[in-house]
């Protein structure tokens, strides 16, 4: 029996459990993007028309919502004509490439519907760095802890009462921590296709931005969301779910992010796993494993807040560490 029908502007295939944007809709969007990119300015109404079409298309694109911030920021104000900035051009080129992909490849509904998580993570960031943990939920996974020290030039840009001219906020740092959390998991797992991921953090702004996958409040955050959205699309995960947790419930990630400074209970010359195994003991014979995010990926995340042209991420399968029964 063939279950194949068109509903609400989408082609539903009940046999393969996929949806696909009709050819004519893809052609219309690509044509609009080409018209906009041909000139240095574009009428506001044309960009608004494209935004409406992309809102509909994003329903079938995992991570697609992360590419809207540049378009929405360009539409701020009331000018009848809008300049095609390098950042807007990059966003439009992203969308053109994704719509071309959508024409050729139907989207599995398993990539679109969040259900009970396969993996559960906690992330945190502070002035010193970012850190977090991953653990199994409904699918097997080792107990993973990771950490990344922020470089001095990034730390110098953090806005505080002692540095009121800084152009990065702690919210931006926390969102970078969520991006690094995602990279830590995809570096550990052999395959996260169709996997459901939940990341918990204690910063409401970062959690909200990552949940909605868009912001008009922070340009660095918008750039980080673009990267996160493309990572989700490249790794074919289901929609990322982010949840807020109070600080005391985020203690493991907090300790990891602050482990670059000695305290009464932790010294920087001891392995992080030793501290975690004693402070956060695991059931039975399990133990914590520290994962090191590749330096090239860390550098890319650190450069995003001040980069106008960014690389499109690709799945880094060659960097995988875990070869257990994650299928």
Helix %, strand %, coil % of the chain (to 5): 45, 15, 40
Q: pLDDT tens track of the chain, all 327 residues?
A: 445 677 777 888 877 778 888 899 999 999 999 999 999 999 999 999 999 999 888 888 877 777 788 888 888 888 999 999 998 998 899 899 889 888 888 888 777 776 789 999 999 999 999 999 999 999 999 999 999 999 999 999 999 999 999 999 999 999 999 999 999 999 999 789 889 999 999 999 999 999 988 888 888 999 999 999 999 988 988 889 999 999 999 999 999 999 998 887 778 888 999 999 999 999 888 999 999 999 999 999 999 876 544 555 554 433 333 333 333
Same domain, 196 and 274: yes
Whole-number Å distance between alpha carbons of 37 and 90 = 10
- Looking at the structure, tell me whether residues 229 and 105 fall in a common domain: no
Residues 290 and 313 in one domain: yes
Say whether both 173 and 307 belong to one domain: yes
Residue 158, domain extent: 119-319
The structure tokens listed for 37 are 């990119």
Task: Write the CATH number for 92.
Answer: 3.30.70
Helical segments of 189-280, H only: 204-212, 219-235, 251-257, 272-279
Residues 12, 141: one domain? no
Residue 327 lies in a domain: no
Q: With contact defined as beta carbons under 8 Å apart, do 119 and 142 qualify?
A: no
Q: Is residue 23 classed exposed, middle or buried when 0-12, 13-18 and 19+ CB atoms within 10 A define those classes? A: exposed
Query: Within a domain: residue 164?
Result: yes
Question: Which of 87, 40, 28 lies closest to 220, judged by CA?
Answer: 87
- As a whole number of angstroms, the distance between CA 306 and CA 220 comes to 7
Query: End of a domain among 91, 111, 131?
Result: 111
Chosen domain end from 111, 132, 147:
111
What CATH number did the domain enclosing 272 receive? Answer: 3.30.420.10
Q: How far is residue 132 from each of residues 5, 41, 77, measured CA to CA in Å?
A: 44, 43, 39
Q: How far is CA 268 from CA 124, 129, 233, 263, in A?
A: 18, 14, 37, 9
Task: Name the token pair of 207.
Answer: 């959690």
End-to-end CA distance of the chain: 29
> Do 67 and 151 belong to one domain?
no
Segment holding 146, helix H or strand E: strand 143-149
**Does residue 128 share a domain with residue 58?**
no
pLDDT at 135: 96
Rounded alpha-carbon distances, angstroms, from residue 171 to 125, 215, 218, 225, 313: 9, 12, 9, 13, 23
User: CA-CA distance, 314 to 125, in Å (whole number)?
Assistant: 25
**Per-residue pLDDT, 265:** 72
Entry pTM: 0.78
Render 40-102 in DSSP notation, one character per residue: SEEEHHHHHHHHHHHHHHGGGSTTGGGG-HHHHHHT-S--SEEE--HHHHHHHHHHHHHHHHH
Residues 149 and 249 in one domain: yes
Widest Cα–Cα separation across the chain = 68
Q: What is the pLDDT of residue 307?
A: 53
Last residue in a domain, options 50, 80, 111: 111
Whether 146 and 279 map to the same domain: the answer is: yes
């Amino acid at each position: 029996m063939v279950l194949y029908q068109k509903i609400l502007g989408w082609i539903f295939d009940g046999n393969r459990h996929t949806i696909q944007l009709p050819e004519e809709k893809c052609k219309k969007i690509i044509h609009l993007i080409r018209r906009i990119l041909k000139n240095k300015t574009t009428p506001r109404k044309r960009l608004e028309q494209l935004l409406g079409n992309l809102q509909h298309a994003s329903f079938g694109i995992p991570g697609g919502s992360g590419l809207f911030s540049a378009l929405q920021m360009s539409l701020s104000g009331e000018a009848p004509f809008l300049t095609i900035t390098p950042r807007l051009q990059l966003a439009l080129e992203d969308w053109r490439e994704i719509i071309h992909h959508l024409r050729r490849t139907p989207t599995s509904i398993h990539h679109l519907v969040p259900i009970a998580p396969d993996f559960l993570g906690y992330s945190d960031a502070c002035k010193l760095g970012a850190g977090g943990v991953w653990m199994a939920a409904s699918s097997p996974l080792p107990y993973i802890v990771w950490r990344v020290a922020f470089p001095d030039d990034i730390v110098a840009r953090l806005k505080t009462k002692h540095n009121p001219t800084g152009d990065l906020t702690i919210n931006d740092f926390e969102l970078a921590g969520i991006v690094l959390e995602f990279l830590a998991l995809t570096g550990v797992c052999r395959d996260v296709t169709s996997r459901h991921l939940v990341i918990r953090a204690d910063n409401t702004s970062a959690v909200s931005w990552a949940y909605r996958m868009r912001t008009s409040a922070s340009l660095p955050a918008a750039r980080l969301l673009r990267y996160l959205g493309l990572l989700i699309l490249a790794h074919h995960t289901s929609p990322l779910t982010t949840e807020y947790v109070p600080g005391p419930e985020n203690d493991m990630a907090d300790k990891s992010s602050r482990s670059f400074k000695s305290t009464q209970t932790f010294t920087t010359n001891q392995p992080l796993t030793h501290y975690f195994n004693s402070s956060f003991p695991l059931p039975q014979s399990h133990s914590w494993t520290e994962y090191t995010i590749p330096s090239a990926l860390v550098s890319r995340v650190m450069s995003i807040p001040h980069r106008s042209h960014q690389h499109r991420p690709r799945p880094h399968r060659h960097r995988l560490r875990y070869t257990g029964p994650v299928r």
